[in-house]
Amino acid sequence: MAYIHKVQYYETDKMGITHHSNYIRWMEEARIDFLARIGWDYVKLEEMGLVSPVINVTCDYKKPTTFSDEISIEVSVKEFRGVKLFIAYEMKNDKGETVCTAQSAHAFLDREGRPARVKQDFPELFDTLSKLCENA
């Protein structure tokens, strides 16, 4: 199930094209939705003592988007190494054309900012993400 984002007027620039920085925001919206759908929403993770900062983002812009376009964002777990999680995104317009492909990398840290021992301390989370990994 894809996350749907409708391009807002304020997300466009003087040329009427979506400003590139907004795609990063859409990735976060889609990622939060994805984690909630698999049973691991951010509130739950934070209550467990985990934070997951972004450590890297890449975006390849394929086609422009404009005001009121509906963008479908598919999210998948590309790789999971216990502490590091790599998420892939494919964004398509309502014609089914890919407008952006992207990836974000995240670290799982404890409240003190140290790498979390996900496999040992959070085995259910580890198992869920491992099973969703494309490279499994």
Give the CATH number of the domain where residue 25 resides.
3.10.129.10
Q: What is the mean pLDDT of residues 46-57?
A: 96
Q: Give pTM, 2 decimals.
A: 0.94
Taking the C-alpha atoms of residue 93 and residue 71, their distance in angstroms, rounded to an integer, is: 5
Q: Which of 81, 83, 79 is nearest to 135 (CA)?
A: 79
pLDDT of residue 1: 78
pLDDT of residue 134: 64
- Condensed to tens digits (0 to 9), the pLDDT of residues 82-122 reads 899 999 999 999 999 999 999 999 999 999 999 999 999 99
Mean pLDDT, the chain, rounded, equals 95
Structural domain containing residue 94: 3-132
Q: Which residue has the tokens 């009427």?
A: 16
Catalytic residue among 13, 60, 94, 127: 13
Amino acid identity of 64? P
Higher pLDDT, 134 or 119: 119
Q: What is the mean pLDDT of residues 70-88?
A: 95
Task: Decide if pLDDT at 135 tops 70.
Answer: no
Q: Per the structure, how many domains does the chain have?
A: 1
Q: Is 13 a catalytic residue?
A: yes
Taking the C-alpha atoms of residue 2 and residue 75, their distance in angstroms, rounded to an integer, is: 7
Task: Decide if pLDDT at 38 tops 80.
Answer: yes
Task: Decide if pLDDT at 33 tops 60.
Answer: yes
pLDDT of residue 65: 98
pLDDT of residue 133: 86
